[in-house]
Amino acid sequence: MSKLIALDDGHGMDTPGKRSPYIDSLGRSIKENEFNREVVKFLDQELKQCGFDTLLVAPTDQDTPLTVRTNQANQSNADAYIAIHYNAFDGSFGSSSPSGISLHVYNGHRNQEAGKLAESIAKYLKLGTKQNYRGIIENNFHVLRETTMIAVLSENGFMDNEREALLMLNSDFQREVASEHAQGICEYFGVEYVNGSAPSPPPQNEAIEDSTVVEEPTSLTGARVESIYRGSDRLNFRSKATWSDQDIVGTFGYGEGWIIRRLLKVEGSYQYEVKNSKGAVYYITASQRYVKVIGNNIPSSADAIVPYPGKALQLGSSGKDVQRVQRAVQVTVDGSYGPITRDAVRAYQSRHGLQIDGIVGPNTWNVLF
């Protein structure tokens, strides 16, 4: 018999407060439900294609009371409850705004079935658009507490991080998030994932490089790298070059730092291999959103993890930097920037909320690398 999945799109369209800050480039703010509703719509289609039955517990744009949502799921004996959300920090775009995705289960359920379902969904979310992974978190939320079936709530980005806020309206991103949830749900229930609506695939370079570690050239060896992240949850350091929670051995806070040994690309995202004052070796994020390299003898062009070449790469460009871009956007690496490379760059820009011009300028470069 088909499993029944209850789908919850979070809020009503006009629920107070549930929106991004005002975005200058857009001339308005984005409502949380503009994202949640679309993802639930795509997820509903995908799950049906995979043979699931679905129950939309809040099918209108009104703010269906939470009790009505959970009662419906309980009365219908749903097998799982999935709530799609977008996170908020302090309601303003500040440099301290966190970013990234997290999965939420009820208190004590991290190591139970809900935690397993969350883990499966997280596995696929991590393969998609590059975002900080904040882990599986236990909360006393109504929809997690009052549901009688396994329940997972996902926060798929931060509305007060401008890059992630703009992703909310990107339909490739919405489809990708839905497809990743569907794949995780299929895996948890042992159902074959059928990709009928053919959403755009997640960036292939990340999927292919999954579980691989590539050393990247860097001029930063010997420099100090510090946390610039002021969030209360601190940054992780790991015993191995992975992004797996199992390899986390500790955390470090704002201003705490390490000495860089190597720059690595791990499952498509950058890490520094670092050592502490006693020479112990660990692995930390190299994202410039979270850490900053300090040091007198570091040339200023080394601010980017892979320094921006200084001029935009576009149709007609050639050379080593073009090859680097081609590897990143997964087209034939011939060092010559032709229409295929341009189109792949445009697709990449679209997926990442960048200006879509097919030209690799500093903004695109810094998201690519």
Chain contacts with Zn ion (rule: CB under 5 A): 10, 85
Measured from the CB atom, the residue of 125 and 331 that comes closer to Zn ion is 125
Measured from the CB atom, the residue of 135 and 201 that comes closer to Zn ion is 135
Measured from the CB atom, the residue of 10 and 353 that comes closer to Zn ion is 10
Instruction: Return the beta strands (E) in 57-188 as ranges.
Output: 80-87, 101-106, 133-139, 150-158
Q: Is 277 helix (H, G, I), strand (E, B) or coil?
A: coil
What is the closest distance, in whole angstroms, from the C-beta atom of residue 108 to Zn ion in the complex? 22
CA distance 293 to 234: 17
149 touches 78 (CB < 8 A)? yes
What is the closest distance, in whole angstroms, from the C-beta atom of residue 102 to Zn ion in the complex? 12
What is the closest distance, in whole angstroms, from the C-beta atom of residue 6 to Zn ion in the complex? 16
Measured from the CB atom, the residue of 87 and 205 that comes closer to Zn ion is 87
What is the closest distance, in whole angstroms, from the C-beta atom of residue 63 to Zn ion in the complex? 11
Q: Structure tokens of 86? A: 């977008």
Residue type at position 29: S
Q: Compute CA 25 distance to the chain's CA centroid, rounded to the nearest angstrom.
A: 22
Measured from the CB atom, the residue of 169 and 228 that comes closer to Zn ion is 169
What is the closest distance, in whole angstroms, from the C-beta atom of residue 18 to Zn ion in the complex? 6
CA distances from 45 to 54, 57, 69, 138, 329 (A): 9, 15, 20, 29, 28
What is the closest distance, in whole angstroms, from the C-beta atom of residue 30 to Zn ion in the complex? 13
What is the closest distance, in whole angstroms, from the C-beta atom of residue 75 to Zn ion in the complex? 24
Contacts 24+ apart (CB under 8 A), 12-18: 12/58, 12/60, 12/61, 12/62, 12/63, 12/64, 13/37, 13/61, 14/61, 14/63, 15/63, 17/88, 17/91, 18/88
- For the chain, helix (H) and strand (E) counts, in that order, are 10, 14
CB-nearest residue to Zn ion: 85
What is the closest distance, in whole angstroms, from the C-beta atom of residue 228 to Zn ion in the complex? 27
Q: Which residues is 274 bridged to in the sheet?
A: 260, 282
Q: Is 163 helix (H, G, I), strand (E, B) or coil?
A: helix
Measured from the CB atom, the residue of 145 and 262 that comes closer to Zn ion is 145
What is the closest distance, in whole angstroms, from the C-beta atom of residue 10 to Zn ion in the complex? 4
Measured from the CB atom, the residue of 155 and 206 that comes closer to Zn ion is 155
The count of C-alpha atoms lying within 13 angstroms of the C-alpha of 288, restricted to the half-sphere facing its C-beta, is 13
The count of C-alpha atoms lying within 13 angstroms of the C-alpha of 251, restricted to the half-sphere facing its C-beta, is 12
Measured from the CB atom, the residue of 157 and 257 that comes closer to Zn ion is 157
CA distances from 309 to 42, 186, 215, 220, 251 (A): 39, 43, 19, 16, 33
Residue written as token pair 């679905």 = 54
Measured from the CB atom, the residue of 140 and 277 that comes closer to Zn ion is 140
